[in-house]
C-alpha cells in the first residue's frame, strides 16, 4: 500500500469514497489497523480516559501524546498518523508551534486541535511552517467544563450558524481535515457540503466524508458506558481483526453509523 496523504484523503472526498479512522495508542493495535487498510490513525487525548483512567482528557500532557505517537509510528507504515495537541498546549501560536514540532518529530503526519475561529492565526502559522492541521468542532472534550458536560452541540440555530462560520474560517486558515463530534445529522451534512476538505464524523451521522471511533468503544471494552454514537463491532465478530474489517466495511457502505447512532 502507498502511504496515505492529505491529498489522497481530499481525493477520496471528491470521489465520494468514505474515509475510515480509529484511535490507536500502541504498536500492536496500530499494526492491526494499518494492515486492515484504515486510512487514518489518531493518537487522541482520549487516552487520558481509556488508558489512564481519568474522567476527562484534561490531565493528558504533550509528553503522553509524544510517547504514544512514537509507539504507533513504529508499526503504522501506511495510515496517516494524527496526534492531538492536548489541553492548553496551543494557547498561543508560539506554544502551538513548539508542541506541534515535538509531535511531528515523534512520527505524526498531522496535528489536531480543538476550537473555532480563535485558532486561525495558529493554524495559519503551523501550515506555513510545514505542519498539516486537523480541526475539531462540535463537542470538543477539552472544553467539557465550559459546556457543563458531554452534550450534543449545534442544536440551536445560532449555535449551528456559528459552527459553520468557524469551520469555514478554519478551512480558510489552512486546515486540511476536520473532525466533527456530536452534532445533529442535518448540521453535519451542511458542514460537509460547505467545506472542500474532508469532514470526519463521530456522533455526526453518516453524511460526513468519513468516521472515527475510539478503539475501546469499537471493541466494547471502555470502562463505564458505551456512547450512543458507537457500536461494539467485536461482539458481532468475536475476533479483533474481523471487527476492524467489519467497521471499515460498514463505514464504506454507509450502514454505520445508522440512525440509532446519530443525533437529530
114, 171, 181, 207: the active-site residue: 181
Give Dmax over CA atoms of the chain in angstroms. 47
Q: Indicate whether 21 belongs to any domain.
A: yes
- Give me the average pLDDT of each 10-residue run along the chain (264 residues): 93 98 98 98 97 95 98 98 98 98 98 97 98 96 77 90 97 98 96 98 97 96 81 95 98 95 88
Q: Indicate whether 1 belongs to any domain.
A: no
66 neighbors 45 (Cβ within 8 angstroms): no
Helix H segments across the chain? 6-14, 27-35, 47-50, 62-73, 93-106, 120-128, 144-147, 157-173, 185-194, 215-218, 234-237, 240-253
Place of cell 451542511: 190
pLDDT of residue 262: 87
pTM: 0.96
Cell of 164: 459553520
Is 181 marked active-site? Answer: yes
Q: Indicate whether 140 belongs to any domain.
A: yes
For residue 231, the enclosing domain spans 6-261
CATH number at residue 195: 3.20.20.60
In whole angstroms, give the CA distance from residue 27 to residue 70. 9
The structural domain count of the chain equals: 1
Cell of 125: 502559522
pLDDT of residue 191: 98
Amino acid at each position: 500500500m502507498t502511504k496515505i496523504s492529505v491529498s489522497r484523503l481530499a481525493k477520496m472526498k471528491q470521489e465520494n469514497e468514505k474515509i475510515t479512522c480509529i484511535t490507536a495508542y500502541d504498536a500492536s493495535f496500530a499494526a492491526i489497523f494499518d494492515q486492515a487498510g484504515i486510512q487514518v490513525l489518531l493518537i487522541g487525548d482520549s487516552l487520558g480516559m481509556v488508558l489512564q483512567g481519568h474522567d476527562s482528557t484534561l490531565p493528558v500532557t504533550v509528553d503522553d501524546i509524544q510517547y504514544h505517537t512514537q509507539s504507533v509510528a513504529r508499526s503504522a507504515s501506511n495510515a496517516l498518523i494524527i496526534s492531538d495537541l492536548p489541553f492548553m498546549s496551543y494557547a498561543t501560536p508560539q506554544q502551538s508551534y513548539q508542541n506541534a514540532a515535538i509531535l511531528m518529530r515523534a512520527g505524526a503526519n498531522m496535528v489536531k486541535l480543538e476550537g473555532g475561529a480563535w485558532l486561525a492565526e495558529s493554524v495559519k502559522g503551523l501550515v506555513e511552517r510545514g505542519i498539516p492541521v486537523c480541526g475539531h468542532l462540535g463537542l470538543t472534550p477539552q472544553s467539557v467544563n465550559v459546556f457543563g458536560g458531554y452534550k450534543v452541540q449545534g442544536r440551536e440555530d445560532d449555535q449551528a450558524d456559528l459552527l459553520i462560520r468557524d469551520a469555514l474560517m478554519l478551512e480558510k486558515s489552512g486546515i486540511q481535515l476536520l473532525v466533527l463530534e456530536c452534532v445533529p445529522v442535518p448540521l453535519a451534512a451542511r458542514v460537509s457540503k460547505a467545506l472542500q476538505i474532508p469532514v470526519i464524523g463521530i456522533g455526526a451521522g453518516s453524511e460526513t466524508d468519513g468516521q472515527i471511533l475510539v478503539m475501546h468503544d469499537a471493541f466494547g471494552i471502555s470502562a463505564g458506558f458505551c456512547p450512543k454514537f458507537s457500536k461494539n463491532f467485536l461482539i458481532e465478530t468475536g475476533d479483533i481483526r474481523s471487527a476492524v474489517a467489519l467497521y471499515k466495511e460498514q463505514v464504506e457502505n454507509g450502514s454505520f453509523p445508522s440512525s440509532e447512532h446519530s443525533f437529530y
